[in-house]
Structure 1
Amino acid sequence: MDGTLLILILGAIVFLGAVGLVIIGLQSPKDEDPLGKRLAEFADSGQIATLEQIELSQPFMQRVVYPVARSLGSLVLKFAPQNAIQNLTVKLERAGNPGNIEPTMFFAFRFFGLGLGLIFFFLSRVAPAGSFMIDKWPLFALFTSLFGFFMPDLLLSSRIQRRQKEIRNAMPDALDLLTICVEAGLGFDASMAKVYEKWENELGRAFGRVIREIQLGKVRREALRDMSDRLGVSEMTSFIAAVIQSEQLGVSMAHVLRIQADQMRVKRRQRAEEEAHKAPIKMLMPMALLIFPSICIILMTPAVILLIKNSAGVR
C-alpha cells in the first residue's frame, strides 16, 4: 500500500475519532455522576477507596480528554474576545450544559478540528509527487478544517433548539399541575417542587434548579428571572413576568396560572398547525428528487425494453 494512502487513512480515522469525542462530550448526560456512583459502591462494600481507584473510576473523557481540552482551551481563551466567551456561556446554559462542558473545552474542541485540517494541509505539502489523490488533499484539508471548526457549534445550536422545543411542549401540562397544586393550598415554591418530582424532563430539571437556588438564599424573583435567561424561551419569559407581576400586585396566583396555561395550550396547538401546513412544502423536494424519478423508471422501463427489442428485430 502506498505510504501516503496509509497516512490519509490514518488521518481520516483520527478525524472521525475527534468528531466522535465531540459528539460524546455534547450528548453525555449531565446528571450522571460515575465518580459518586463508584464511591457509593466502595462505601457499600466497606472497602477504602484509594486515590488510584478513584481516578480510574472516572470515564475516559474526564480522565484524559477533558484535562487536555481544558489546557488547550485556556490558551485559546487568552486571545478570544470577551463577547464570544459570554455568548458561548449563554449557549451552553441554554443547551443544558451537556456533559458539563466548560467554554474552555468547547473552544478546544473547535480549534482541535481546525488543527486536523492544518495537519492534512501540511501532509499535502510534504507528500511526494504522484501520491494517491495528492491534488485533492488541499481541498480535503479545507473541508476538514471548516467541518471541525463549525461542527461543535452546529451540534450545540441543534441541542438548544431541541431543548427549547421540549420545554415549550411541556409548559402547558406543567402549568396545569402548578395550578392544581396552588389551588390545593400549596405555595408556588412547593408547587414547582412537585413538578420537579413528577417529571424527568428539561422543564422539571429547570424548576428543580430554581428550588435549589431559593433554598440557598436567592430571592425567588431573581431565581425565576435567571431561569428565564438560561432557557431563552419566549413563552417562559412571559410566564415569569406574569408570575412576578401577580406577586407584586397581589393578584391570585391560581388565576394567573390558569390563564397562562390556557395561553400556552393555544400556542402549542398553533405550532402544531403551523408544522402541519409546512409538511407539504417539506415533502416536495423528496418527492421531486426521489419518488417521481422512481415512478418514471418503473413506468418507462418496459416501454424502453420493448423499443430496444423492436429496434433489434428491424435490424
Structure 2
Amino acid sequence: MTGVLGFATLAVAVATATFLLIIREIHLRALDTRVSNAVLGIPDRSSSSKDLIGWLSSVGSRYRRFYAQENLDQLRLVLQAAGFNHYRMLPIWIGFKTVSSFAFPIAAFSIAQLLGRPFNDVMIFTLLGLAFGIMIPRLILLVLKRRFDAAIRLGTPDMIDLLVVCSEAGMGLESALERVGAEMRETNPAIAQALRGLLDDLRVLPTRAEAFEKLASTSEGLRRFGTMVSQSLQYGTPLSQALRSIAVDLRRERITKLEERAHKLGAKLTVPMVLFLLPAMFVILGASPFLHLVRTFSSIGK
C-alpha cells in the first residue's frame, strides 16, 4: 500500500512539474516576443493561436532528435499527402503529438483521482489516456489525408483539361501550372496547393522529372499524372497528347467506379429491407387476416 501511495504521489508530482514547465515556457516565449517587438518598433499583434503554434513548433524542434531519419522522411511524406507544407508543419506536428502523449494520460489520471477510483482503475485510465494521446494524432492525420486525396481525385480531370487548353494556347509548363492553380484556387483548394508545391519543386530540383515523380508520391490521385508527365518529359513525347490521354483515362475510371457503386447498391439495400421494410409489410399484410380470425373464433365461442 505504501508503494502504491508513493507511486501515485510521484505521478502527481511529475504531472504538476510538467504543467508548470509548460506554463513557464509559454510565458517566456510571449515575453520575448513582446520585448523584441517593442525594440524593433513593431506593434503587438500576436494572438493566442500564433503563440500556441509557435510553442508547438519549438517543442517539436526539441523532440525531433528522438526520431530516426527514416521516420522523419516517412512523416514528411504523410504530411505532404495530407495537404500540408511539410517544411513548416513537421515540427508543429511533432510538438502536437508530444504534448498529446503527455496531456491525455495526465488528464485521465487527474480525472480518475477526482472521481475517487481505486488504484487499478486509475492505472487503467492512465494507460487508456496514453493510448489515446498516441493514436489520436495519427487518426486525425489519416482523416485529413483521406479528405485531401478525395479532393485531389475529384479535381484532377478538370486540372488536366485546363492544362491541355493552356498548352495548346502556347503557354509554357510553369506558366500553365501557375495559371491553372490560380483558376482552381476557389473551386478546389487541394489541387491549387498541390500545384503550388509542384512549382516550388520545379524551381528547386535539378530536373523536371524529379519534381513530377515527387508529385506522384504525394497522392494516389496524382500518381498517374505525375508518372506520365515525367515519362513524357524524359522521352520527348508531346505533352498535350499525354495530358489528353490521362484525362480520358481518369474520366473513364470515374465512370467505372460509379457504375460499380450502382451495381453494389442492390446488395447493400438487402439488409435494410430485411430489418425495416419486411417486418412492416408482414404486419400490414398479416394483421388484418389475423384480426378477422380472432373475431371469428370469438364469435363461435359465444
> TM-score higher than 0.5 here?
yes
CA distance in 2, matches of 1:139, 1:287: 42
Measured after TM superposition, the shift of residue 170 of structure 1 is: 0.9
For structure 2, list consecutive stretches of 5 or more residues without a partner in the other structure. Answer: 1-36, 288-302
Give the match for residue 173 of structure 2. Answer: 188
Give the match for residue 227 of structure 1: 215
Q: How much does 1:163 deviate?
A: 0.8
What is the match of residue 237 of structure 2?
251
Find the partner of 2:84 among 97, 107, 112.
97
Q: Displacement of 1:198 after TM fit?
A: 0.9
State the match for 1:175 in structure 2: 160
Q: Which amino acid aligns with 2:208?
A: R
Counterpart contact for 1:120–1:140, Cα < 8 Å: no
Rg larger in structure: 2
Secondary structure at the counterpart of residue 147 of structure 2 = helix
* Separation (CA, whole Å) in 2 of partners of 1:110 and 1:281: 42
Distance change (3 Å), C-alpha of 1:206 and 1:114: closer
Match of 2:250 in 1: 264
Percent sequence identity is 24
Q: Which residue of 2 aligns with 1:309?
A: none
| Aligned partner letter, 2:196 | G
DSSP 3-state at the match of 1:174: helix
| Unaligned residue ranges in structure 1 (runs of 5+) | 1-48, 303-315
The amino acid of 1:204's aligned partner reads A
For each residue in 1:126-157, what CA deviation from the matched residue of structure 2 results, as whole angstroms up to 9, or x when unmatched?
A: x59xx544464433333322222111111111
Q: Please give the TM-score of this superposition, normalised by the length of structure 2.
A: 0.66
Cα 1:186–1:118 change in 2 (3 A) is closer
What's 1:143 paired with? Answer: 128
User: Take 1:208 and 1:94, find their aligned partners in 2: how far apart are those partners?
Assistant: 14
Contact 1:92/1:98 (8 A) holds in 2: yes
TM-score in terms of structure 1 length: 0.63
Query: Would you say the 8 A contact 2:105–2:133 is kept in 1?
Result: no
**Which residue in 2 is equivalent to 1:160?**
145
Distance 2:103 2:278 in 1: 40
Deviations 1:56-88 (A, max 9, x none): 42332221x234323433443232232222211
Q: Provide Cα deviations, 1:257-289, integer angstroms capped at 9, x if missing partner.
A: 211110011112223334444556666777788
SS in 2 for 1:57: coil
SS at match of 1:102: helix
Query: 1:99-139 deviations in whole A, cap 9, x for unaligned?
Result: 975333323322322223432565489x59xx544464433
Alpha-carbon distance between aligned partners in 1 of 2:131 and 2:207, rounded to the nearest angstrom: 45
Choose which of 75, 82, 93 in structure 2 pairs with 1:88: 75
What is the rounded CA distance, in whole Å, between the counterparts of 2:123 and 2:278 in structure 1?
36
**Other structure's SS at 1:78 match:** helix
**CA distance, structure 2, for counterparts of residue 117 and residue 253 of structure 1:** 52
Q: Does 1:79 align with 2:63?
A: no
> Does 154-163 or 101-110 show the bigger shift?
101-110
CA contact (8 A) 1:228 1:240 kept: yes
**Structure 2 counterpart SS, 1:58:** coil
d(CA) in 2 for partners of 1:257, 1:248: 15
Instruction: Quote the residue 1:46 is aligned against.
Output: none
Cα distance in structure 1, aligned partners of 2:148 and 2:57? 26
Number of equivalences: 246
Contact 1:124–1:138 at 8 Å: present in 2 too?
no
Specify the code of the residue in structure 2 equivalent to 1:90. L
Structure 1 contact 74–104 (Cα < 8 Å) conserved:
yes
Aligned amino acid, residue 194 of structure 1: R
Asked if 1:209 corresponds to 2:197, the answer is yes
Secondary structure of the residue aligned to 2:66 is coil
Over the aligned positions, Cα root-mean-square deviation in angstroms equals: 3.8
Q: Residue 115 and residue 285 in structure 1: after superposition, are their counterparts in 2 closer, same or farther (change >3 A)?
A: farther
Higher relative contact order (CA 8 A, sep 6+): 1
